[in-house]
Amino acid sequence: MAEGDGELWQSEVLISDSIGRLIEFWGFKRNMGRLWAILYLSDRPHSAPDIQQKLQLSAGAVSMTLNELLRWGVVKKVWIQGERRDHYTAEGNFWKMISRVFNERERVEVLDAIDIMEDAIDFLRAKAKEPESRQRAHFQEQRVRELLDLARFGKQLLDTLIKDAKVDGSPLMNVLLGGDDER
């Protein structure tokens, strides 16, 4: 390791802490963001011991964090001639990283919500056959259908975003503003 490579610069500390907090806000572990940021800001790949020294983390924490980042596709193993240790570099394509998270996390949650709402509608249809439950069941079915429409729009939005990397926000504005009427 060249002189000074083991110590983080102030810019690296600031950015890695900021990315760590942001990643934690999104429900991931803070060290995932910190480690990715250190690799992203580096002009060369790093081994696990290099990362351990830079971030002052245990070998186990670095190993577990690298495995999670590899699984999410935001860090890559690279081979360096003459080196026996694995080295790592950050994925630099932001859209690739974001779309993977959207596809594997947010989209799955929306699909689960759609399934549950469809089950609720089936239940409410059966309840509407009972005279004493009819009014409540019809009211709830209407409300659940509104939620289902929003969830299906969310799925469509995520599918489009993941596939095309672009989104037309006008359908969302129509949903939020309650229709196409002039404002």
Check residue 106 and give its pLDDT.
Answer: 87
- The mean pLDDT of 10-25, rounded to a whole number, is 94
- pLDDT score of 3: 36
Q: Does domain 10-91 have CATH number 3.30.360.10?
A: no
Q: How far apart are CA 137 and CA 139, in angstroms?
A: 5
**Going by C-beta distance under 8 Å and a sequence separation of 6 or more, which residues neighbour residue 44?**
none
Task: Return the structure tokens found at 60.
Answer: 């186990």
b/e code 71-85 from CB counts within 10 Å (16+ = b): ebebbeeeeeeeeee
Which residue from 56, 60, 63 is spatially nearest to 7, judged by alpha carbons? 56
4 has a pLDDT exceeding 80:
no
| Mean residue pLDDT across the chain | 87
Give me the mean pLDDT over the 126-136 stretch. 95
Share of the chain above pLDDT 90, in %: 64
Q: What is the pLDDT of residue 163?
A: 79
Statement: residue 183 has pLDDT above 50? no
Instruction: Check whether 148 has a pLDDT greater than 80.
Output: yes
Average pLDDT estimate for 23-27: 90
